[in-house]
Structure 1
């Protein structure tokens, strides 16, 4: 549009130079030709409009937003129409305590008060996309800066409004998924009314106050110590049971032997033991006898 206006100005200027006798008429053709070239160039840029992949265009004529949407590709349009492009791909808006992770510089984490009055810090990522057919509605009612007007405030408000129903430790542990599902529904409903579609919500981190973290760590250590002591006691009970079974086995063996052992069996066992000793390479002479007869002499030589 600017090139068209400049071209028209140059054409008018060239015509005025031509009708003014005091000005060298040689300038008039140069100015007129430049004006025509600029006018044609401006018309070519204004008539043909390319929409990049993943984007859509919304036409505005003299401040009035038109309802039809330009998809990606080459389009032939009215040169007086102004086209505003919107990103229709999935977008990620992150609010984090780390200075280099979010859209805002510095600490942009969400600080909320839990049901038990503790301050909890939450890092959040919102994945969403602009509905292509709703782009004219967004331009007319919200504007191109819908990130700052809709995405950011709606997400932060939903976090704060729902966090007041949960205690800090529950947010960190047992109720985390429930809390995330609840704020997902809240944000999704609000986005849908404004031409946006929420695709995914990620609670990236929940930071508790230092005093609460210390209490949780102390509790975890105590539970680990209790589990360790339980293991030691169980092991000692198993060892005691093993010793009791061994002692019972020995007692049963001795009772059986004491009941069934005879003098002939004792004599037989003695002979077997002495025979084993006699056959040992370390044995020289063994005297065997029971006191009733001549002893038997065994040796390593005949």
Structure 2
């Protein structure tokens, strides 16, 4: 009976000595016992540990957004103020190594120094105006690729580098705006010239069509056809009940209405 009581008391004491924590989705837990990190991280779920000897350190592994503001050097030696977002995540299996080799301040100890070095190296290859135009996406991709190569082995994955805002020097910004305005005016003028050329082409095609139609008509009006049409006209005049005077040279008839002639003559006599 006494042994049973001793066992029960021991079980109760050991239960009191245990503690629990919940590892949530989007993070892993690494158990540290007497200052040493375990090799295998815990995934999400309820995890027990001895609070007198161990602790579970939680590390986020979902996408994190690191905001940085700094001056970017350009190829011509200017400093361009920019706000940049670094999207990254940690490989879950590498969480113990990250805690051992870098610590929990991996953003300040590794990511930020690598980013500053990389961004200075990449942007120095481009002119300041390139950071304000379509070259920005190329610059972002170059920074991401170079950072990813340096941090991948450490278990840090760079998902994207986004340049959110650029503050160019006032003189440079004004020069870029003037250049863009000049390009817009040139494009408008090119459009006007194209419109004028298209209109001239349309008129030329229309004139050629009229000319071709006239040539076809003139070629079709041969003497035989004109004589045939003249005979048709004589036949139609012969069917008319009114008195007509027809003056002709045998080819083309000229018609005179006697009634209208008489009326005009009567008016003269009056």
Whether these two folds match at TM > 0.5 is: yes
Note if 1:260 corresponds to 2:223: yes
Partner of 2:208: 244
Note if 1:125 corresponds to 2:85: yes
2:155 to 183, 195, 199: 195
Deviation of 1:87 after TM superposition, in Å, equals: 0.6
Partner of 2:49: 77
Structure 1: tracts of 5 or more residues without a match: 1-39, 96-107, 279-284
How far apart, CA to CA, are the structure 2 residues paired with 1:62 and 1:93?
32
How far apart, CA to CA, are the structure 2 residues paired with 1:267 and 1:261?
10
How far apart, CA to CA, are the structure 2 residues paired with 1:251 and 1:66?
99
CA contact (8 A) 2:17 2:50 kept: no
Question: Against the structure 1 CA distance between its residues 262 and 213, is the aligned structure 2 distance closer, same or farther, given a 3 Å change threshold?
Answer: closer
Deviation of 1:246 after TM superposition, in Å, equals: 0.7
How far apart, CA to CA, are the structure 1 residues paired with 2:132 and 2:234?
79
Partner of 1:186: 146
* Structure 1 length-normalised TM: 0.62
1:91 to 46, 58, 64: 64
Partner of 1:290: 247
Instruction: Single out whichever of 260-269 and 155-164 deviates more from structure 2.
Output: 260-269
Question: Against the structure 1 CA distance between its residues 77 and 266, is the aligned structure 2 distance closer, same or farther, given a 3 Å change threshold?
Answer: closer
Question: Against the structure 1 CA distance between its residues 286 and 187, is the aligned structure 2 distance closer, same or farther, given a 3 Å change threshold?
Answer: farther
CA contact (8 A) 2:144 2:159 kept: no
Classify the secondary structure of the residue corresponding to 1:289.
strand
Deviations 1:275-295 (A, max 9, x none): 9xx8xxxxxx77341169xx8
* Structure 2 length-normalised TM: 0.68
Question: Against the structure 1 CA distance between its residues 62 and 213, is the aligned structure 2 distance closer, same or farther, given a 3 Å change threshold?
Answer: farther
How far apart, CA to CA, are the structure 2 residues paired with 1:286 and 1:154?
112
State the superposition RMSD in angstroms. Answer: 3.9
Deviations 1:138-175 (A, max 9, x none): 22332222223333343343222111112344455564
Partner of 2:268: none
